Structure formats: structure tokens, C-alpha cells
Amino acid sequence: MIKGRLLILGFISTIFMSTGCDETQASNNSDVKAVAPESTEKEVQLRGKYKRSFEIHELVSNGITYYVSDPKQLLIKDSKSINQKGYYKYFETCVIGDISSLGKYGPLGKYQKQITVRRICT
């Protein structure tokens, strides 16, 4: 009797698993539709105050706050050159980078603009 129940339970769970996996993946790139808008980034030079703390990577320049994307960690290297140690940073800097179009950037989409740092100004 117990074997019969286990057999029925196994059969039912197999049926549920197989119906839940009926979704098919795109077989090639022609099946995938682009939903993101085209990038409209432009390279600029910004001078302002950079702040990094828990979930905050921002640059304030001319009253506008940008979320900072720094893939090469250039700002961290720059902070070491002015003897700022530790995780938390706050200093005046000048960066050259690409500003992304309006959107939601950073944690919880807090920032409307983002700058991707390409190099530090001299």
C-alpha cells in the first residue's frame, strides 16, 4: 500500500515537473528581440566631488549627481595617490568619461545619470 502511494506520488510529481519545463529557449539570435534603447553616451570632462561608501559611488558636479561606474578602478588608484586609505572615499577629482542617457542607475535606481570613467584628468 505504501509502495503504491509512493509510486503515484512520484508519477504526479514527474507530471508537474514536465509541464513546468515546457518553456523553450530561443534557438538563435533572430528569435531574440532587442528591448533596450540604443546607447546615446557622450564623452565629457567633469570636475567635482567623488564619494564612495556603502552602496554609494557618486560624483557631484555643477549640482548634478552622477552614479559612477569605474571598471578600471581609476578613482581608487587616484585616491591612494592622495593618501586616502580604507573603503570610504571623499575627494575632489576630474574625470573624463561617458555619460549615459537618463535612466535608473545604482542601487534601487536612485540615480538618473551615470558616468563611466575612462581616464583621470591631468
pTM: 0.63
Cell matching residue 45: 570632462
The predicted structure's pLDDT at residue 35: 40
User: CA-based angle 68:38:48, to the nearest 5?
Assistant: 20
* 112, pLDDT greater than 90: yes
What's the sign of the alpha-carbon dihedral 59, 84, 86, 77? positive
How distant, in Å, are the alpha carbons of 26, 44, 64, 108 from that of 120? 42, 12, 19, 27
Q: How far apart are CA 21 and CA 14, in angstroms?
A: 11
* CATH number of the 42-120 domain: 2.40.50
Range name among 11-15, 21-25, 41-45, 69-73 with the lowest pLDDT average = 21-25
